[in-house]
Amino acid sequence: MDFLTIIQIADSALRLATPLLFACLAGLFSERAGIFDIGLEGKILASAFLSAAVAFVTGSVWLGLLSGIFASICFSAVHGMASITFRGNQLISGVALNFLASGITVLAAQAWFGQGGRTPPLTGNGRFPPIELPFAIGRSDAEAAGVPLRILIEQANPIQQVYSEFISGHTILVYVALLMVPLSWFVLFRTRFGLRLRAVGENPAAVDTAGISVVRLRYASMAIAGTLCGLSGVYLATGLGAGFIKEMSAGRGYIALAALIFAKWKPVPALGATFLFGLLEAIANRYQNIDLGGIVIPVQFMQALPYILTVVILAGFVGSAIAPKAGGQPYVKER
């Protein structure tokens, strides 16, 4: 395995980590405010469908983006209603929304496009184009030189390879996702809103006593989570893929949940955890079986590894993962 191969795997890991990162940060805001959200999966799916459908019909990926976020926020609103207003079981609500999204996206896709529960492939302005950063070797350089891009990058020096292959050439949403990490950290740990949000997840009664509305804070966290999860779905359908395919979220919402635990409910480690899980997926995609000097690791093991690692982390054998204290409990104001 040469240097360029490693860079290529890292590049694909970054792409695959992006939807996980958005969803993981969505879960972070939700769970920090004391609301379990196993409905991430459903929100990603709903957003992926509506963004692809609208992007196809209007030909504008930006309208697709807005619609995707809208779909995800709608699901968030139902989850908020069930878990905040009606004090229902948040886990059950999440499970229900996952099923709802999984079914309704196929039904709507079939009714609109009649292609077996998918949208037609997106082209041109229906997708987010890759952004070439300054001084990176990109498609235009390759056309000017008259050689394939692959060969041009092979000939470049290692720093240029890392820059052109790994850092440059992603769609805007990848950079937005990376930017969301420091932003989330700042909002949660350096603003008054963030302090209150975290307090609501630990001890809502104390926040209420201080005269701040628990309900409003929790709905705000739902709106943020809906937006971020929406971006995850939009990237999946218009950045990573080109259109909506049935069940295209493929368990990413659950992996994001795993990453959240792995990251111990903190934004910066969330980047590390999602990149690690993206890396595992990238390796599993590239190599079917990995031969480690006589021991062959089957691809299924690589696929299961994020889940196994999460169970190990949860078991507390490698550091401890302590969830926000008030997670999952509806808040009932004292009378």
Partner 1 sequence: MDKIPKWADVALIPFLNLLIAFVLSGLVIFAIGENPFKALMTMIDGAFGSTYGWGYTLYYTTNFIFTGLAVSIAFKAAMFNIGGEGQAMIGGLGVGLACLFIPTALMPHWTIALVFAVIAGGLFGAGWALIPAYLQAKRGSHVVITTIMFNFIATALMGYLLIKPLKLKGAQESASASFPDVTNLPTLHELLAPLGISFSKSAPANVSLFLALAMCVVVYLLMNRSRLGYEIRAFGESPTASVYAGISPTKIIIVAMMLSGAISGLMAINATMGQHERLILNAVEGAGFIGIAVALMGRNHPFGVLLAALLFGFLYQGGSELSLWTKIPRELIVVIQGLVILFTGALDNMVRMPVERMFIAAAKRKDA
Residue among 80 and 126 whose Cβ is closer to partner 1? 80
Element holding 292 (H helix, E strand): strand 290-292
- Any contact of residue 115 with partner 1 (CB under 8 A)? no
Residue among 101 and 229 whose Cβ is closer to partner 1? 101
Residue numbers 40-69 binding partner 1 by CB under 8 A: none
Residue numbers 259-298 binding partner 1 by CB under 8 A: 261, 298
DSSP helix/strand/coil, 306: helix
Among 66, 108, 176, 187, contact with partner 1 (rule: CB under 8 A): 108
Residue numbers 67-96 binding partner 1 by CB under 8 A: 78, 81-83, 86-93, 95-96
Q: Which residues on adjacent β-strands are paired with residue 295? A: 292
- Any contact of residue 101 with partner 1 (CB under 8 A)? yes
Among 129, 158, 182, 316, contact with partner 1 (rule: CB under 8 A): 316
**Which DSSP string do the residues of 176-234 spell out, in sequence order?**
HHHHHHHHHHHHHHHSHHHHHHHHHHH-HHHHHHTT--HHHHHHHHHHHHHHHHHHHHH
Residue among 170 and 252 whose Cβ is closer to partner 1? 252
- Any contact of residue 205 with partner 1 (CB under 8 A)? no
Q: What are phi and psi of 30, to 5 degrees?
A: -65, -50
Among 270, 250, 271, CA closest to 260: 270
Residues 108 and 49 sit within 8 Å (Cβ to Cβ): yes
Which one of 103-111, 166-174, 183-191, 210-218 is the stretch in contact with partner 1 (CB under 8 A)? Answer: 103-111
Q: What is each CA distance from 244 to 164, 224, 254, 257, 319, in whole angstroms?
A: 29, 23, 19, 22, 39
Helices (H), 59-89: 61-80
- Any contact of residue 12 with partner 1 (CB under 8 A)? no
- Any contact of residue 193 with partner 1 (CB under 8 A)? no
Number of residues counted as binding partner 1 (CB under 8 A): 49
Q: Which residues contact 158 (CB under 8 A, 6 or more apart)?
A: 3
Residue among 101 and 282 whose Cβ is closer to partner 1? 101
Q: Which residues bind partner 1 (CB under 8 A)?
A: 36, 38, 78, 81-83, 86-93, 95-104, 106-108, 110-111, 114, 117, 251, 254, 257-258, 261, 298, 300-301, 303-304, 307-308, 310-311, 314-316, 323
